[in-house]
Amino acid sequence: MSRAARLIDLVQALRRHRRPVTGTVLAAELAVSLRTLYRDIATLRGQGAPIDGEAGVGYVLKPGFLLPPLMFGDEEIEALALGARFVAEHGDPRLARAARDAIARIETVLPADLRERLDDAGLWIGPSKRRPPEPVDADLLRRAIREEKKLDLAYADAEGRPSRRIVWPIALAFFERVRILVAWCELRGGFRHFRVDRMSEARLVDDRYPRRRRTLVRDWRRVQGVGPPD
């Protein structure tokens, strides 16, 4: 187990104990030596963890402490690397650049051992297949979702029949070949899925849609029979 993962486990163990717990008990729970346990307690205190107590008496973690955001375990490092590489390969240009920038920023502040593990995670993303051209900027669609604003779309169905739609966008799904906008359609009076490559124009409407996006997502899941993600 890496040192970062061990420190995370120690914090979780302290949280489980509402009352002071001795170093001996903690060391047994974490399967480490008492000397290692004392050293890890000192490390956490040095990073600002409000741990009261001392050797031979017991330790307690005061409520409200959050781990520093860059203390990642091995699998968390792998998940970060894989997710960023997927977005860099399959996302639209702005998201791809943001993914590369985010990984570079994380790398600059990670300890050397974790930085090396991030660089050499051994999980790769295959090249994406060529997508149909998308006249509409996906950044505009994401902005509409974030701000919960309506979109005015010029859209063509699978047979090429054009229509004009006012929609309430709630999600943008990324597939290997296409991107799908999930939205409530005012014309149809229900949820519809719009392929981005079939949009010829998208314009942000100043009005926010009348229901919160969280509520719409819940309703969409119910209609589709899709449970919340794990």
| pLDDT given at position 165 | 96
Query: Does residue 127 lie within any of the structural domains?
Result: no
| CATH code where residue 29 lies | 1.10.10.10
Whether residue 229 lies inside any domain: the answer is no
Query: In terms of domains, do 53 and 88 share one?
Result: no
pLDDT in tens, 90-146: 778 888 888 888 888 777 766 676 677 777 767 777 776 666 778 898 899 999 999
Same-domain pairing of 90 and 38:
no
DSSP assignment of the chain: --HHHHHHHHHHHHHH-SS-B-HHHHHHHHT--HHHHHHHHHHHHHTT--EEEETTTEEEEPTT----TT---HHHHHHHHHHHHHHHHHS-HHHHHHHHHHHHHHHHHS-HHHHHHHHT-----PPPPPPPP--S-HHHHHHHHHHTEEEEEEEE-TT--EEEEEEEEEEEEE-SS-EEEEEEETTTTEEEEEEGGGEEEEEEEEEEPSS-HHHHHHHHHHHHT-PPP-
- Report pTM: 0.63
Full domain range(s) for residue 37: 3-61
56 part of a folded domain: yes
145 and 213 belong to one structural domain: yes
Split into its structural domains, the chain has a count of: 3
Do residues 57 and 82 both lie within one domain? Answer: no
Over residues 9-31, mean pLDDT: 90
Confidence of residue 68 (pLDDT cuts 50, 70, 90): low
| Structural domain ending residue among the three candidates 12, 31, 61 | 61
Same domain, 151 and 195: yes
